[in-house]
């Protein structure tokens, strides 16, 4: 199989693996939970799998595209692996909260919902411009409304916040480590690669003025 064909289909294969893995592991874990924990865990796990299935349509579209994936510099594959490692380890490893499990789960569910909402709002604003690949098309334009009025990359911010919430709901230190040493660094690297590509768009430098990349007042 040609290398570029592998590059096109690999993200879709990772997405499918994430959906299947999350479904199976969540089922095995949540059958042993009871009461509020089971209800909250089931709601978040179901929302996560539904989100991954929704994102899969973009992976399918991208896999059919003949456009080059070289501008990604493998950041898409890298952050997809980091995302999968974070989410699947949260389900596969025994949950052990440092204290107050109910508070951890409630906080996590709220953060997950907020992150998912932010990402969906950003994707909706992008419309046909949304892709899992770093690319510039002939109809490309700078989106300045919605969450893009405050952040340069709200979809990535939502992705990170949602996974932090997921880890708090199904807490273990391995998943938290994956967020800190894998997912967050890969998102930062991808943002830097993406911004280097977007610099060729007229007005992008002005768009960046006064807008944080990922976290207001931080970066």
| pLDDT tens-digit readout, 74-113 | 888 898 999 999 999 999 999 999 999 999 999 999 999 9
CA–CA separation, 96 and 119 (whole Å): 28
Q: Kindly tell me if the per-residue pLDDT of 189 is higher than 60.
A: yes
CA–CA separation, 195 and 207 (whole Å): 11
Question: Directed axis angle between helix 184-198 and helix 154-169, to 10°?
Answer: 170
CA–CA separation, 9 and 69 (whole Å): 11
CA–CA separation, 157 and 137 (whole Å): 23
CA–CA separation, 136 and 197 (whole Å): 8
First to last CA, the chain: 40
* Entry pTM: 0.92
Whether 59 and 132 have beta carbons less than 8 Å apart is answered as yes
89-93, 174-178, 187-191, 214-218: the lowest-pLDDT one: 214-218
Position 4 scores a pLDDT of: 53
Across the chain, mean pLDDT equals: 89
Q: Kindly tell me if the per-residue pLDDT of 173 is higher than 70.
A: yes
CA–CA separation, 24 and 145 (whole Å): 39
91-to-83, 116, 120, 172, 175 alpha-carbon distances in Å = 13, 18, 23, 9, 9
CA–CA separation, 191 and 197 (whole Å): 10
Q: Kindly tell me if the per-residue pLDDT of 150 is higher than 60.
A: yes
Q: Kindly tell me if the per-residue pLDDT of 29 is higher than 70.
A: yes
Position 129 scores a pLDDT of: 81
- What is the mean predicted confidence (pLDDT) over 37-49? 96
Position 116 scores a pLDDT of: 97
Residue with structure tokens 């990535």? Answer: 156
160-to-28, 131, 142 alpha-carbon distances in Å = 25, 17, 23
Which of these, 64, 57, 29, lies nearest to 169 by C-alpha position? 29
- What is the mean predicted confidence (pLDDT) over 144-163? 95
Whether 164 and 115 have beta carbons less than 8 Å apart is answered as yes
9-18, 62-71, 129-138: the lowest-pLDDT one: 62-71
CA–CA separation, 213 and 150 (whole Å): 9
Q: Sketch out the chain's domains with CATH numbers.
A: 3-208 (1.20.120.1630)
């Amino acid at each position: 199989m040609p290398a570029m064909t592998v590059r096109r289909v690999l993200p879709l294969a990772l997405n499918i693996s994430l959906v299947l893995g999350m479904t199976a592991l969540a089922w095995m874990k949540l059958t042993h939970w009871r009461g509020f924990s089971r209800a909250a865990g089931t709601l978040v796990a179901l929302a996560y799998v539904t989100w991954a299935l929704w994102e899969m349509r973009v992976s399918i579209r991208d896999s059919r595209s003949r456009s080059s994936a070289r501008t990604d510099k493998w950041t898409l594959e890298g952050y997809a692996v980091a995302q999968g490692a974070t989410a699947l380890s949260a389900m596969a490893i025994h949950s052990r909260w440092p204290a107050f499990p109910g508070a951890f789960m409630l906080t996590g569910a709220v953060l997950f919902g907020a992150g998912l909402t932010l990402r969906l709002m950003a994707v909706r604003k992008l419309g046909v411009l949304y892709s899992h690949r770093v690319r510039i098309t002939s109809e490309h334009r700078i989106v300045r409304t919605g969450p893009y009025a405050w952040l340069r990359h709200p979809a990535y911010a939502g992705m990170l916040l949602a996974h932090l919430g997921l880890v708090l709901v199904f807490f273990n230190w391995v998943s938290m480590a994956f967020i800190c040493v894998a997912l967050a660094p890969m998102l930062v690297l991808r943002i830097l690669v993406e911004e280097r590509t977007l610099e060729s768009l007229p007005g992008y430098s002005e768009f960046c003025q006064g807008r944080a990349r990922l976290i207001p007042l931080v970066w």
